[in-house]
């Protein structure tokens, strides 16, 4: 069974963009519905930020990749999403049209970005530690687990100064790598509860159809229905992404071919690491 994997926010926008008609149609949808031009980098909204621009660009690349796969006759038996990958996943599964997926990305991102007006937030990428010591140092510095990508690759989220201190402690604790990246808002942490009213209003504005392809969520690995989605869209912003558990569940559900639909290959790399930990074991 083929699995389409939808990655989260990329770290940068590629200088080499597609040139075909499908890409131009996606660009036009971005301009009209997300108020952002992924080719020029121009915003048509006064509250757009660089991080939200990357989120929209990531969704656009996933929608474009899905179009190409569909044209070549490749279709998924199941869809999985990682963080911001939930937005293009909704379009791939038929729950929302492409323009709505782009619009909701822009609207939600710009609301969350308001948190960064008065405070500075950061993401911390830690490679090499195991979960228990990582959670201990996160608690010590008042930051939160945001992604468990493998048993040795994690993202933390929280205030920037606290994150820098946490990354320094991670290196002292034996991490191979510990880096901080600036962000607008502390995604996948309970701190996003500050924006609950505005976010719930956005997510409730859309009519979600039942997915025509099973859509596995990255929190508890259940498959989502149309009635689940408005609540899930909010709840997933407050809870960490459990990609390691999601990949294992996908394998257990019968997925054998994993296609990363969008820019980059981070999910493929995580999958290879997870597989390496279970070499010689039939069940992931």
Distance (Å) of CA 105 to CA 18, 70, 99, 209, 248: 21, 23, 10, 18, 27
d(CA 140, CA 267): 29
Q: Which is higher by pLDDT, 281 or 11?
A: 11
pLDDT mean across residues, the chain: 95
Give the model confidence (pLDDT) of 230-254 as tens digits.
999 999 999 999 999 999 999 999 9
CB count within 10 Å of CB 154 equals: 27
2-115+189-277 against 119-183: fold identical: no
pLDDT given at position 92: 97
pLDDT given at position 15: 81
Cβ(124)–Cβ(179) below 8 Å: yes
The two beta strands, 257-260 and 2-6, are: parallel
User: Which residues make Cβ contacts (< 8 Å) with residue 77, sequence separation at least 6?
Assistant: 1, 2, 3, 213, 214, 254, 255
pLDDT band per the 50, 70, 90 thresholds, residue 166: very high
CATH assignment of 2-115+189-277?
A: 3.40.366.10
What does the pLDDT average to over 81-104?
97
User: Residues 90-126, buried b or exposed e (16+ Cβ, 10 A)?
Assistant: bbbbebbebbbbbbbbbbbbbbbbebbeeeebbbbbb
The two tokens of residue 137 are: 């140092």
The two tokens of residue 232 are: 């899930």
pLDDT given at position 279: 63
Q: Is the pLDDT confidence value at 115 over 70? A: yes
Q: Is the pLDDT confidence value at 284 over 60? A: no
SS3 content of the chain, % helix, strand, coil (to 5): 50, 15, 35
* CATH for 119-183, options being 3.30.499.10, 3.30.70.250, 3.40.30.10, 3.40.50.1000: 3.30.70.250
Give the model confidence (pLDDT) of 187-213 as tens digits.
999 999 999 999 999 999 999 999 999
Q: Which is higher by pLDDT, 203 or 263?
A: 203
pLDDT given at position 13: 83
Give the model confidence (pLDDT) of 23-68 as tens digits.
999 999 999 999 999 999 999 999 999 999 999 999 999 999 999 9
pLDDT band per the 50, 70, 90 thresholds, residue 127: very high
* Phi/psi of residue 78, nearest 5 degrees: -160, 150
The residues spanned by each domain of the chain are 2-115+189-277, 119-183
pLDDT given at position 264: 86
pLDDT band per the 50, 70, 90 thresholds, residue 142: very high
Compute the C-alpha angle 82/154/63, nearest 5°.
20
Q: Is the pLDDT confidence value at 104 over 90? A: yes
């Amino acid at each position: 069974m083929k699995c389409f994997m939808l990655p989260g926010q990329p770290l940068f926008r590629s200088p080499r963009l597609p040139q075909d008609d499908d890409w131009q149609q996606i660009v036009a949808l971005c301009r009209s519905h997300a108020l952002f031009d992924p080719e020029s980098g121009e915003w048509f909204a006064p509250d757009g930020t660089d991080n939200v621009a990357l989120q929209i660009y990531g969704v656009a690349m996933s929608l474009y990749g899905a179009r190409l796969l569909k044209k070549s006759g490749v279709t998924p038996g199941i869809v999985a999403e990682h963080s911001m990958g939930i937005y293009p996943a909704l379009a791939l599964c038929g729950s929302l049209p492409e323009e709505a997926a782009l619009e909701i990305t822009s609207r939600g991102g710009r609301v969350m970005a308001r948190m960064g007006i008065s405070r500075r937030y950061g993401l911390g990428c830690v490679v090499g530690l195991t979960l228990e010591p990582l959670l201990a140092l996160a608690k010590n510095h008042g930051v939160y687990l945001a992604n468990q990508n493998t048993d040795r690759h994690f993202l933390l989220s929280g205030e920037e100064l606290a994150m820098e201190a946490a990354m320094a402690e991670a290196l002292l604790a034996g991490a191979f790598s510990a880096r901080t990246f600036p962000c607008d808002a502390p995604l996948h942490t309970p701190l996003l509860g500050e924006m609950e009213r505005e976010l719930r209003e956005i997510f409730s504005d859309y009519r979600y159809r039942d997915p025509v392809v099973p859509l596995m969520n990255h929190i508890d690995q259940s498959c989502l229905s149309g009635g689940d989605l408005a609540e899930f869209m909010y709840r997933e912003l407050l809870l960490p992404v459990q990609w390691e558990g999601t990949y294992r569940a996908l394998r257990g559900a019968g997925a054998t071919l994993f296609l990363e639909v969008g820019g980059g290959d981070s999910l493929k790399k995580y999958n290879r690491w997870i597989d390496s930990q279970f070499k010689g074991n039939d069940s992931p």
